[in-house]
Structure 1
Amino acid sequence: MFTAQPAIANVDLTAPRMIVDDPRIPMSYQALCQTTNGGFLTNFSLPTSEPTSDGLADVECHYLAGIAHNGEAVIQAPDLPDYLVPFSQHQQQYFVFDCQQASAEPPIRYIDTEVDQWLTVADSLDSFLEQLGPKVIDLNPDNELTPLQRNHYLLVAQGAQLDTLLARYEADADKEWLFDWLLYFAEHGTPAQKASALTAYDTQRLYFKRQLPRAKDAQLTALFEQLPHLKDAYHAHQQAWSPL
């Protein structure tokens, strides 16, 4: 259900991703949080009965909030009625438990306060989770991504989609941030993600060598040297690189 939660996925995220420990939170959600206290979702596309800001027939739920136990900052939704308990937020979009009627398993609503869109999307948490599915990420370069989208998409993208996302940031993104992602993929990623990291790194060495963070560059080259299935490709790329 949840993706890996590397530290780099939290970079530039300023909005809280925790919820208050409210007795109205259903037991099923509390049980879910006992194993992994929230996190980014692997499947994050929820079908909807009408168009939303995210698609013609779906909306994106990027994460489930953890329950705050130690005074952490929590999601605030002052424009929503008190009977709604939000458990996920992306800018003006909220997923909430509708506790207007006392129920052990309250229905779930999606609310976009910017366009005043209110939808009931599931009659329980189990139904909500069952409906979540994978999504082909919209890679249109004209669509500006928020930090939350950018980090979540990098976590879940595979193959050509990951290559396209990394290429999108090859010139303009902060190099420390980009190299932290390449290090994450090279060390913890699938074989396909490791190969994508090598392709992105090759571009950096060819065209941006004077901008590269030297310490992280050394870490990355050491990792590629140790990956048996990429060592030959790494050395082939290396032939075209001039010294840093």
Structure 2
Amino acid sequence: MPRFAANLTMMYNEHTFLERFAAAARDGFKAVEFLFPYDFRAGELKSRLDASGLTQALFNAPPGDWAGGERGLAALPGREDEFRRSIDTALGYARELGNRKLHVMAGIAPKGQPREKLRDIYLKNLAYAAQTAQAGQITIVIEPINTRDMPGYFLNRQDDAQAICAEVGAPNLKVQFDCYHCQIVEGDLATKLKRDMAGIGHIQIAGVPERHEPDIGELNYPYLFDLIDSLGYDGYIGCEYRPRAATSAGLGWLRPYLDAAR
């Protein structure tokens, strides 16, 4: 039976951020994820999780200057010290929130830099992150992201992400399989899920192409949920989509799964 986590960055925007935890719990979610926690004290977020009986499923390490267009640090030359500090910050939050999965973003590839140089930096930084996270039993995940939504992002394909994880060789480094991004870049999701499930650490969903609820668009999510179950995935599936209107009103797709879980 699939287990779903509400993405509080994209969902429940009709509420202030701290109010979104309770709203998600009222709708039946048992877990949440979001992009970044760093505008709030970890203790404040933990109190919201506990008050609503929620598990923190995932968040991202600091991405650099997000407002300035940066989308991660891990593949950027000359930013290694900043990257290591960002991992230390993220792991401090993860420990307090009880979060076991941390998404590390690669970043926008700088123009004029050889890809092999960036890849070497990326692998070394990921090795550091995985080694540092291992003592806390935290899994580092990397996510291929489509270049329509994030032009120039360093990592775009599932096979490349799996190869990078294999080359680093850390048992707690895995791939974040976002169905939305994968469909836009590659398609053939079922085959890739079957091929790569052993190396997948987190799954996310959204309708394609508009990134709305997973009940509209190109993907047959009921089929994919059954497949994911059959492949033995027991983590949360992150609902990283933009609701068409009010979040709660658009959760008809979720209710059959909540009813079955009861």
TM-score, normalised relative to structure 1: 0.31
Larger-gyration structure (1/2): 1
